[in-house]
Structure 1
Amino acid sequence: MNKYKVEIKRAFIFIGMMLTWMILERLAGLHGSNIDKHAIFTNFIAIPAVAIYVLALLDKRKTDYNGSMTYKQGFMSGLIITVIVTIFSPLIQILIAYVISPDFFANMIVYSVQEGKMTQQEAEAYFNLQSYLVQVLIGTPFMGLITTAVVALFTRKK
């Protein structure tokens, strides 16, 4: 377990960041009165997400590899972080849906239909917990692996 201390720590930092980000989105009205701006601002979560991966791999390089880390070692470290975050992603989504922003789905349905972006049926099929659980179980490992692949390139050191 001590072998994965950095990955476990950084995965939980990532989870904390995700929950904090969702709270900030809600406080900024992006799940309610400013929902029309949600699609733009929610993408900025990539900045702290990538930063956490960079800091994680730099930490791993320094702590476990004495300042020298191959691409494969960095990739494996990022992969472990991604697996941990993916395992917890359904719980994160449930917390967001029921505790942090319980009106998000209803608000997105109304907004999408009013703006003509979707029919009522399409919006209801897309903006619900089951749909979002599927999305996080696919999207989290996908984005985590892409981030890991790129960050491992920049954090490797001979």
Structure 2
Amino acid sequence: MKKINIELKWAILFTIMFLAWMLLEKTLGWHDEKIADHSWLTLFFIPFAVLLSVLTIREKRRRYYKGSITWLQAFKAGVLMSLFVAILSPIAQYITHNYITPEYFVNVKNHSITNQLMTIEAANEAFNINSYFWQAAIGAFIGGVITSAIVAFFAQRKRPKKAKNKID
């Protein structure tokens, strides 16, 4: 268990950050009056997601690997954190759509149908809790794997070689 504590901790923090972001989106009107802009405005979450991936791998390098980490070790830590985020994502979606913004699905369906972006059937199929459970879990995992590969490249550190003592 101690081997995965860091990744699990950061996945829980990521989930809390996601819920805070959902509350921010709701407060800023991105789930109702500004729903037309929601799809691109929500991209502002990406830097925060990347930051948590960086912090996860940095802590893993510092605490578990004593300052030295290979690309593969860093990548594995990021993927494991992403897996935990994916597992927690249905819970976050449930909280989001039942407590933070229960009217979101109605609003996004109405917007999509009214602006002829989708048919009623397509909107009903795309915008529901089960669809979002899957989208969130798969998206979190795939996005996390890609982010982990990139972050691991920059996070890798080799253990410094010990200097040999020369006798003069």
TM interval, short-chain normalised: over 0.9
Question: Which moves more between the two structures, 85-94 or 103-112?
Answer: 85-94
Secondary structure of the residue aligned to 1:68 is coil
Instruction: Output aligned runs, 1:75-90, within 5 Å.
Output: 75-90=75-90
Q: How big is the shift at 1:65?
A: 1.2
Determine the structure 2 residue equivalent to 1:132: 132
| Higher percent of residues as helix | 1
Please give the alpha-carbon distance, in whole angstroms, between the structure 2 residues aligned to 1:154 and 1:134. Answer: 30
Distance 2:154 2:115 in 1: 42
The CA deviation at 1:3 is 2.1
Q: Does 1:104 align with 2:104?
A: yes
Q: Deviations over 1:66-119 (max 9, x none)?
A: 211001110111111011111111111111111111000000000111111111
Q: Which whole-Å deviations, capped at 9, do the CAs of 1:12-53 have from their partners, x for residues lacking one? A: 111111100000000000001111111111111111000000
Superposed CA RMSD: 1.0
SS at match of 1:51: helix
1:1-158 alignment runs, 5 A limit: 1-158=1-158
- After TM superposition, what 4+ stretches of structure 1 lie above 4 angstroms from structure 2? none
Take 2:123 and 2:4, find their aligned partners in 1: how far apart are those partners? 41
Q: Shift of residue 58 of structure 1?
A: 0.9
| Unaligned residue ranges in structure 2 (runs of 5+) | 159-168
The code of the aligned residue for 2:39 comes to: A
* Percent of aligned pairs sharing the same letter: 37
Q: What is the aligned length? A: 158
TM-score (norm 1): 0.96
Task: Compute the TM-score of the two structures, normalised by the length of structure 2.
Answer: 0.90
Counterpart CA distance in 2 for 1:4 and 1:135 is 25
- Structure 1 distance, partners of 2:141, 2:6, is 19
* C-alpha distance in structure 2 between counterparts of 1:15 and 1:68, whole Å: 28
- In 2, Cα distance between equivalents of 1:101 and 1:30: 10
Q: Which is greater in Rg? A: 2
